[in-house]
Amino acid sequence: MKQVLFLYNPQSGKGKIEKDSQAIGEMFRQAGYSIVDGPIDFSRNPFNGHETVDLVVVAGGDGTVIGTLSESCFPNFLPDTRQNLFGGYLR
């Protein structure tokens, strides 16, 4: 089974993503993924211990995205907001 690592910033978007995290996890399960999810701990590398996942999904604002990319060896990025400055720059 493929594995997805779903990391989110619970403070981003007025806490909306944390409220939706169960539904997002269920969407991945229905697509055939096992899911590892949880809030991002900015004091450590979020990818430690997850080097073999098939997919990484990160939800948050500019600080979350930039902080995650700085720790990442994953080259792909899909902006998912119209208000995210970093995502708007890439569009």
Per-residue pLDDT of the chain (91 residues; tens, 9 = 90+): 899 988 888 887 787 887 888 888 899 999 999 998 888 887 888 788 888 888 888 887 777 777 777 666 554 555 555 555 555 555 5
pLDDT for position 66: 72
pLDDT for position 79: 53
Residue 84 CB contacts under 8 Å (≥ 6 apart), including other chains: 61, 62, 65
Closest CA to 74 of 47, 48, 39, 45: 47
pLDDT for position 70: 66
Q: What is the pTM of this model?
A: 0.71
pLDDT for position 31: 92
pLDDT for position 19: 80
pLDDT for position 38: 82
Give the 3-state secondary structure of residue 85. Answer: helix
Give the 3-state secondary structure of residue 33. Answer: strand
Residue 39 CB contacts under 8 Å (≥ 6 apart), including other chains: 7, 8, 9, 10, 18
Residue listed under structure tokens 């900015």: 42
